[in-house]
Amino acid sequence: MAITMRPAILVLPLLLSLFLPSSAQNCLSETFSNSRLYDRCNSLGVLSATLHWTYHASNGTADIAYRAPQESSGFVAWAINPSSSGMIGANALLAFHNSSGAVTVISYVFNGYRPSVRDSNLSFTVYSKEAEYSNGAYTIYATVALEGNKTTLNTVWQAGQVSGGVPVGHTTGGDNINSKGSTDFLSGQSSSGGGGNSRLHRRNIHGVLNAVSWGILMPIGVIIARYLRVFKSADPAWFYLHAACQCSAYIIGVSGWGLGLKLGSESKGITYHSHRDIGIALFSLATLQVFALLLRPNKDNKYRIYWNVYHHLVGYSVIVLSVVNIFKGFDILDPAKKWKHAYIAIIATLGGIAFVLEAVTWAIVLKRRSRSSEKFHQGEYGTNGYGGRQHQGA
């Protein structure tokens, strides 16, 4: 079993490295109007945003320039959250085109998930603020006081829709719920949506673990059990391969499931009900399958047929629920389309292999039945129709 699990263990780091995000762009190449210059910058990793700033230690202020691509009909926002790491409590600067078509910037404190955005004071002083729109991107310029003269602060950034000249909301999935982190205005270090220990990083790990386990290894294990057992030369190797594959999938899948629960507990006010409920059902059914192995009757036991029916029904249910939930996860994470297309290709390939093996194994089974029937008739009646005994005269 350890030997069989090794390929899955070896391939996981490769898959993780492929799925994990890289820095959005090199912020050092960006320039600003009026020859503005800043001491430090960070590529924030999600929403293709960058933050530039100069920190003034003498008076605890920072000149900032936040830039993010967006359609002219939408808005962008950058915020400092003095009390938390998310949207609630965020002191934001929002840039958008108002009802007259002019680029404007307002300040607003988000105290709930259904805000009525209007220009208002923040919990810290904003000495200046302005915005511009150029080359498909908004840029917010501001000079702000760092509250309590702290240099490491939670930051949030966003992009969304405008209606009637007022920001009204944003997408509640993908990068739009991962756009938060922290920035040390003194050292320049930043933990953002693309950072090593960031929420987006962990969400991607959650997605990869579940896609590899429930969505790939589990179906492979089912294919092994259904088709290899037909080949006499594969007995009992098929059983050990099947058990190793499913146990590997279960261990990896439980890790991804546990990480998903942790991420869910951190998402205050955001719940993906169907994704969560299917995940809980998957874990429960898969756990039943694992414990069912301990109660597996012998082949000659009269209850074995009932165990087989249960084992097959639960197993196929896990496969169907797995694939459905993985696609729900794709909709939530909203990664590059190539990853969804890659998974579709994998599932289609496994389906094609199963289709071919179904035809091949049925042909083998029918041929064996035909031979068994011939042997039965030959044994009962003989080759000349008089049974297995020689005909004796009177």
Q: Which two tokens stand for residue 384?
A: 């000349």
Instruction: Look at residues 182, 203, 191 and name the one whose alpha carbon lies nearest to residue 85.
Output: 182
* Phi, psi (degrees; rounded to nearest 5) at 159: -145, 140
Cα–Cα distance measured from residue 204 to residue 211, given in angstroms and rounded to the nearest whole number: 10
Alpha-carbon distance of 195 to 21, in angstroms, equals: 8
Instruction: Give the integer Cα–Cα distance in Å for 150 and 185.
Output: 9
Count other Cβ atoms within 10 Å, centred on residue 168. 13
Query: In sequence order, what are the residues at sequence separation of 6 or more whose Cβ sits closer than 8 angstroms to the Cβ of residue 281?
Result: 321
The amino acid that residue 303 corresponds to is: Y
Instruction: Give the Cα separation of 256 and 207 in Å (integer).
Output: 7
Question: How large is the C-alpha radius of gyration of the chain?
Answer: 31
Identity of residue 309 = V
CA distance 390 to 394: 13
Which residues are CB-contacts of 92 (< 8 A; sequence separation ≥ 6)?
A: 77, 78, 79, 107, 108, 109, 110, 156, 158
Per DSSP, 213 falls in state I
Query: CA 247 from chain center: how many Å?
Result: 21
Q: Which residues are annotated as a binding site?
A: 206, 242, 275, 311
Residues making up the binding site for heme b: 206, 242, 275, 311
Question: 3-class SS at 151?
Answer: coil
Q: Please report which helix (H) or strand (E) contains residue 273, including its range.
A: helix 273-292
Beta carbons within 8 Å of 154's beta carbon, 6+ residues apart: 80, 81, 82, 84, 85, 180, 181, 182
